[in-house]
Amino acid sequence: MTVKFEIDFLRCLDCDGEIVGPLPAAAEDPQFAIRLYRALIRARSFDAKAIALQRTGRLGTYASALGQESVSLGAASAMASEDVLVPSFREHPAQLWRGVSLLELFLYWGGDERGSDFAGPRQDFPNSVPVGSHAPHAVGVALAFKLRRQPRVAVCIFGDGATSKGDVAEALNLAGVWRAPVVFVINNNQWAISIPVARQTAAETLAQKAVAAGIPGRQVDGNDVLAVHAAVAHAVARARSGQGPSLIEAITYRLSDHTTSDDASRYRDDAAVTPHWAEEPALRLRKYLVARGAWGKHEEEQLLAETQLEIDRAADAYLATPAQPVESIFDYLSAELPADLARQRAAALGK
Amino acid sequence: MVQAIDMALARAMADDPNVILLGEDIGVDGGVFRATDGLLKRFGPERVLDTPLAEAGIVGAAIGLAAQGFRPVVEIQFTGFIYPAIDQLANHAARLRNRTRGRLTCPLVVRSPCGGGIRAVEHHSESPEAMFAHIPGLRTVIPSSPRRAYGLLLAAIRDPDPVVFLEPTRLYRAMKEEVVDDGQALPLDRCFVLGEGQDITIIAWGGMVAEALAAAARLAKRGVGAEVIDVATLKSLDADTILRSVEKTGRCVIVHEAPLTAGYGGEIAARIAEDALTSLLAPIERIAGSDTIMPLPRLEQAYLPDADGIVAAAERALAYK
């Protein structure tokens, strides 16, 4: 038996913002690309503020999404509000799009569990820090939708490093067997801390991991938010109509360090990073908008000012938020606190 | 006992449409020990899911189902195969409620046959309960009789938080006991006192409870009153019941099948030393498996603690002046 497969590659906009492929239906509304651009700048500004706070000792270790916001936003913008996002720890652009607040993000990265108690998307999963371990959760969420005959979809985002993990292989396989309405998005930023994709796998593409699971897999230009949106929207529609799961590999580039605790210069030449700045997602989307007369200097300045104000206010609110009371260490462990723990709780409170 | 488990699962499924079962060979085959026998036929393939062979994936998917309000009951075929799923249990199931401040919860039960005594092949006879008991946010339960298996499993399934439910394989078919299918759960976080005694306390769980009872019967013939405590729920521990008994008897033997060092008996011994030291009339005795690999069946009986060892330990404690 010979098994053959092809992995297609989708791109709508090139680095100059020129249209090079079919645009998604949503882009027929000129406001859609503007919304994406605004969300991208908002996420990027949050990113800059988070790093500034970390560098001045006012936030914990933080994982930047600089240059790869488009993967996150392309995926989130293809979801319905009642769908469920199951993200890794570098997807705050998607979280912001879905209604997680800036204050919640600051709280989470500032070391406060309340940051994962989203007031907006109540059923979305919190960040998954153990790499790839959340992929099976998305399958379970999707299976719940299927068993309850709900036309909803789970969208799971993980990085290139996660594709080496058994959890991801198991999740893809389970999703295929159960025809679960789930879309897996690989945020391939080409670096898993210090390990480039070439040393992560001998496979030519990450998308072809879908082939072994018997589900569709494709590649998309991850720096092209319209292309990511198009690919995920197609996969989401497919899942919602009962046609099962898909895998999308969105190829982008991690312009930042892995986290604020990392120093990428130990393993990656700055010179190798430079050309990727020309490919980053905000640039091409802005060029696309400007060429259509939908965006200009005035809009840009206004957006940056508005965004900065909003983010500074959220940061101030975060810094003014007192830590949770000590008893909160115990009070969310289980629905009812067992007697044994009640004693430890009392001891922790000095009672 | 295996029929009591089957009965409890059927009862829980009949009572609550959110209870669904996932596991390897649990459907058509009814489980390798037949703990899910007949359930596929009765409840259908959307509630009894035969899964691919993927322990981490099954438990991970069950976490997703639980977060959506299902009450999944996962069977991991043997505890020797549960280790890939410990990541899911420790990093996710146990933490989901806490890390989302109660926004998402994980009412999940992972059942798994454990322990030795049935001459099984490699990796089929281990007793890793202390590992689970060490994970904050997980309850760890081990029944020791059909009735307690029925009542504790119902309680575990109805509990709004994750429970690891370890079933001693040696009890699946060894013990016969009438179990009324009355839907009555037994309390979690509670030890069971099996027979009153004034002279010594024997503390055990799972497959070792029967050995403790056999030892108590032999001691009774010599006029020694042994109080046997079935810990049943290791986490959270009902230390009060143990302490009350030891305060009364002043002597105790703690018995488990798992290796001695860092075994759960050490935790119980510490609690007794902390809170009942002045009541002790003799050093605490621990009878446990040795810190070795569980031997293959030819030497299995040489590894497993038994009534002889418990009686000898009790005699040492009783003779101590």
- The enclosing domain of B90 has a CATH number of 3.40.50.970
Of B113, B147, B174, which residue sits at a domain end?
Answer: B174
Whether B187 is in a domain gets the answer no
Judgement on whether residues B22 and B170 belong to the same structural domain of the protein: yes
CA atoms within 13 A on the CB side of A291: 12
Whether B218 is in a domain gets the answer yes
pLDDT in the model for residue A201:
97
Q: What is the DSSP letter of B278?
A: G
Q: What is the DSSP letter of B142?
A: -
Judgement on whether residues B68 and B135 belong to the same structural domain of the protein: yes
Residues of A in contact with B161 (CB under 8 A): 334-335
Q: How far apart (Å, rounded) are the C-alpha atoms in residues B184 and B166?
A: 20
Judgement on whether residues B79 and B158 belong to the same structural domain of the protein: yes
Judgement on whether residues B219 and B158 belong to the same structural domain of the protein: no
Judgement on whether residues B114 and B43 belong to the same structural domain of the protein: yes
Q: State whether A133 and B91 contact (CB < 8 Å).
A: yes
What is the pLDDT confidence band of residue B176, given thresholds at 50, 70 and 90?
confident
Q: State whether B64 and A139 contact (CB < 8 Å).
A: yes
Q: Which segments within A41-181 are labelled E, that is strand?
A: 84-86, 154-159
Chain segment B56-71, per-residue pLDDT in tens: 999 999 999 999 999 9
Nearest-CB residue to A141 (from B67, B72, B161): B67
pTM across the whole model: 0.97
User: Is the minimum CB–CB distance between A86 and chain B shorter than 8 Å?
Assistant: yes
Nearest-CB residue to B61 (from A129, A133, A143): A143
Within 10 Å of residue A270's Cβ, how many Cβ atoms?
8
Active-site positions of A read: 254, 258, 267
CATH code (residue B299): 3.40.50.920
Contacts for B87 with CB less than 8 Å, ≥ 6 apart: A130, A133, A167, B56
Judgement on whether residues B10 and B124 belong to the same structural domain of the protein: yes
Fold of A9-320: Rossmann fold (3.40.50)
Contacts for B18 with CB less than 8 Å, ≥ 6 apart: B69, B70, B71
Judgement on whether residues B156 and B229 belong to the same structural domain of the protein: no
Q: State whether A334 and B137 contact (CB < 8 Å).
A: yes
In one letter, which amino acid is A231? A
Residues of A in contact with B64 (CB under 8 A): 86, 136-144, 154
Nearest-CB residue to A136 (from B61, B68, B237): B61
In the structure encoding, which two tokens stand for residue A258, read together? 């892995």
Whether B227 is in a domain gets the answer yes
Q: State whether A143 and B65 contact (CB < 8 Å).
A: yes
Judgement on whether residues B108 and B199 belong to the same structural domain of the protein: no
pLDDT in the model for residue A30:
87
CB pairs under 8 A between A and B: 140
Within 10 Å of residue B214's Cβ, how many Cβ atoms?
16
Chain segment B194-205, per-residue pLDDT in tens: 989 999 999 999
ipTM score of the complex?
0.97
Distance of alpha carbon B56 from its chain centroid, rounded?
Answer: 21
Mark the ranges of chain A whose per-residue pLDDT is less than 70: none
Please report, for chain A, the start and end positions of each structural domain, with discontinuous segments joined by +.
Answer: 9-320, 325-351
Judgement on whether residues B92 and B126 belong to the same structural domain of the protein: yes
Q: What's the mean per-residue pLDDT of chain B?
A: 97
Q: How far apart (Å, rounded) are the C-alpha atoms in residues B269 and B298?
A: 32
Q: How far apart (Å, rounded) are the C-alpha atoms in residues B237 and B233?
A: 6
Phi and psi at B182, nearest 5°, equal -100, 5
For residue B78, the enclosing domain spans 2-174
What is the pLDDT confidence band of residue B256, given thresholds at 50, 70 and 90?
very high
Whether B184 is in a domain gets the answer no
Judgement on whether residues B166 and B52 belong to the same structural domain of the protein: yes
Whether B223 is in a domain gets the answer yes
Q: State whether A339 and B161 contact (CB < 8 Å).
A: no
Residue B175, pLDDT above cutoff 80: no
Judgement on whether residues B141 and B199 belong to the same structural domain of the protein: no
pLDDT in the model for residue B278:
97
- 3-class secondary structure per residue, B59-108: HHHHHHHHHCCCEEEEECCCHHHCHHHHHHHHHHHCCHHHHCCCCCCCCC
Residue B84, pLDDT above cutoff 80: yes
CA distance A349 to chain B (A): 19
Number of domains in chain B: 2
Judgement on whether residues B51 and B88 belong to the same structural domain of the protein: yes
CA distance A298 to chain B (A): 40
Contacts for B56 with CB less than 8 Å, ≥ 6 apart: A136, A166, A167, A170, B84, B85, B87, B88
